[in-house]
Structure 1
Amino acid sequence: MNGSDRILPYTRWVGAIIIPFLVAAFIILYLFPTHTDALFAWTINPPITAMFLASAYAGGIWFFVQVVRPNRWHAVRYGFPAVFVFATLLAISTFLHWEKFHFGHISFIVWVTLYIATPFLVFAAMIANAPADPRAPDDRDARIPWPVRILLALVGLCALATGIFLFVVPQVAIDVWAWQLTPLTARVCGAILTLPGLVNVWMLGDARWSAFRQIFQAQLASLVFIGGALAIRSGDLDWSRPSTPMFVCGIVASFVVYAALYLWGEASMRRSAPVVRAAPQD
C-alpha cells in the first residue's frame, strides 16, 4: 500500500460524526416507517418512501464505517462527491418545503443541523484528502474491463437523470412514479438516485477495482434493503403505472449486475500477482 494513500484524521472525524445520525435515522425509518408523524423530522407517506430513504442510509453507514476504520483514501474517495450532492439536495429540499417539517421536534433540529453542516464538512474532507490518491493500484488489485465500466457508467447516468428529473420537476414526477409522492418526497427520492449515478460515472476515468469495491459493498447493502422495502410495502406500489414494474425490475437487475461485478472483482483481485514496488532511493 502506498504510504501517501491515507485518510486524514479530519476525514475520519467527519465519518465518525455522521455514522450515529445515520444509524438513528435508519432505525426510525426502516423499522417504524408508519410512525414518522411522531418520530421523524416530517411525516412521510406512504411508508415505502421512508424505507427507501432508510435504505440509502444503510449504504451510508457501511460507507462511513470504511472511512473511519484503517483504510486507504482511494478506496472511498469516489463516494464523497456523491454524498456531497445528496446532502446538498436534501438541504435544498428542506428549505423549499420548510412548512412540512415538525418544528421544535428533536428530529427536526437534528435534521436541519445535519444537512446544513454535512455538505460543508464533506466538501472540505473531499478537497483536503484528494491529493492523497497516488492513482496507483493496490498491492493486489484488478482492472475493470472498459466495456463493463461503460455499461455501469450508463446505468449511473440513467439513475442520475432520473434523480434530477424527480428533483427539478417533482410535480411531473408525481404523476408517473411507482408510488405516491409529494413534491418533498419526490425531491428526496431524486436525491437518493443521484448516489449511484455519481459513483458509477467515475469508472470512466479509473479502472482500479480497489477504488470501487467498498463503495459497491455499500450500494449492495442499499439494494438489499430497497428489495426488502419493496417486499414489505408492496401494497404502497401503484401497479397501474408502467414505472412500477420498471423500477422493481431495475432494482433486481442492479443487484444482480452489482453482485456479479463484486464477485468477479474479488476473484480477480485474489488471482492477481502482488505488485512489487521499488524501494525508495536515498
Structure 2
Amino acid sequence: MPEGSRVLPALRIWFCIEVLFASFGLVSVAYDPANSASNFAWSIQPPVTAAMIGGFYLAIAPILILGIFARSWERVRVVVIPALVFTAMLLVATWLHWASFRHGTPAFWLWYVSYFTPPFAFGILYLLQWRRQQAVPNHQPMIVAFRSLLILLGLLITAEGLYTFVNPAHFMAPQAFVITPLTARTIAGWMTAVGLILLFSAAEGAFERVRIGAPFLILALPCLWLQMARFPDQVDWTHPRLLAMGAVLALCTIVGLYMVRGLRLRN
C-alpha cells in the first residue's frame, strides 16, 4: 500500500475530464494552428502564436494522464492549486476579451466550459482531499540548494506571468513575434502554471511527491520550439526576449530532468 491518503474517485474522474478538455486544444491549435479561425474558440493570429498555445497543451498532457493513475493524494497535490490558478486566469481572460470569441460555436462553448468549471472543481476537490491527507515522511528529500533554485525560478516565472496578465502590453512589445492582448494573457496563464508548479514542488521538498509535474517542465521548451518551428518566417529567432525565454525554459527542462533522475537514483 502506498504511503499517504487515497486519491478520491471524484478527482480521478476530473482528471479524465481534463484530458478530454486538453484533447480539444491538441486537435485544434496543436495539430492545425493555421486554422484557429474555424477550429478554435477564437481566431489566433498570427498562426505561430496559436502553435505556441498548442505546444503548451502538448506539454501538459502527461500531467493529466498521470493524475488519473496517481498512487496517493500526496503525490498529485503539487499540481492541483497551479491548475486552479491557471484555469481561473484563463476564465478571467475570456471575460476581459469576450468580444474576441466566436460565440455560439461548439469550439467556444467547449473552451468556456473547460475554463469555467475547473476552478470550482479543483477548489472543492482540494478541500475534500486536504481534510483526508496524511503526514508522510520524505524518502527522497531535496537538498537545500535545489529547493532554493525551485523557489527563485518559480518566483521569477510566476511574477512574470502575473505581471503580463495584468499588463499584457509588457509581453506584446517588443517581441519576437506578433501577439495580441488575449494571446498574451493566455500565455501568461501558462507561464504562471509553470512557476507555481516549481514553487509547490519546493514546498513539498521530496522528489517522490513532485514527479507528476516533471514532464511539463521537461517538455515545455521542446514542444514550444517544435510548434514555433512550423512557422519560421513569423518569428525573429535572434530576438533577445525569445532567447531569454528559451534560457529560462531550458533551465526548467534541466530541473524537470533532475527531478526524475533523483527519483531513479534513490529507487
Give the Cα separation in 2 of the matches to 1:269 and 1:137: 15
Q: Give the TM-score, by structure 1 length.
A: 0.87
Q: What is the identity, as a one-letter code, of the residue corresponding to 1:187?
A: R
Deviations 1:31-71 (A, max 9, x none): 10100011100011122322222232233321121221252
Distance 1:218 1:249, change over 3 A: closer
2:221 aligned partner: 223
The aligned length equals: 267
Distance 1:171 1:218, change over 3 A: closer
1:105 aligned partner: 105
Q: Runs of 5+ in structure 2 lacking a partner?
A: none
Q: What is the identity, as a one-letter code, of the residue corresponding to 1:168?
A: V
2:266 aligned partner: 269
Q: Give the TM-score, by structure 2 length.
A: 0.92
Residue 242 of structure 1: how far off its partner (Å): 2.2
Residue 225 of structure 1: how far off its partner (Å): 1.1
Give the Cα separation in 2 of the matches to 1:194 and 1:160: 5
Residue 24 of structure 1: how far off its partner (Å): 2.3
1:129 aligned partner: 129
- Describe how 1:177-192 pairs up with structure 2 within 5 A: 177-192=175-190
- Describe how 1:3-152 pairs up with structure 2 within 5 A: 4-137=4-137, 141-152=139-150
Give the Cα separation in 1 of the matches to 2:203 and 2:250: 27
Residue 7 of structure 1: how far off its partner (Å): 0.6
Query: Is the deviation greater in 205-214 or in 47-56?
Result: 47-56
Percent identity over the alignment? 24
Deviations 1:56-105 (A, max 9, x none): 22333211212212521111101011110110010000010011111111
Give the Cα separation in 1 of the matches to 2:101 and 2:134: 44
Give the Cα separation in 2 of the matches to 1:110 and 1:83: 18
Give the Cα separation in 2 of the matches to 1:133 and 1:269: 24
Greater C-alpha radius of gyration: 1
Give the Cα separation in 2 of the matches to 1:240 and 1:165: 24
Give the Cα separation in 2 of the matches to 1:267 and 1:112: 40
| Secondary structure, counterpart of 1:162 in structure 2 | helix
Give the Cα separation in 1 of the matches to 2:113 and 2:74: 29
Q: What is the identity, as a one-letter code, of the residue corresponding to 1:17?
A: I
Please provide the CA RMSD for this pair: 1.9
Residue 2 of structure 1: how far off its partner (Å): 4.7
Q: What is the identity, as a one-letter code, of the residue corresponding to 2:259?
A: Y
Distance 1:233 1:205, change over 3 A: same
Q: What is the identity, as a one-letter code, of the residue corresponding to 2:155?
A: L
Give the Cα separation in 2 of the matches to 1:257 and 1:215: 11
| Secondary structure, counterpart of 1:163 in structure 2 | helix
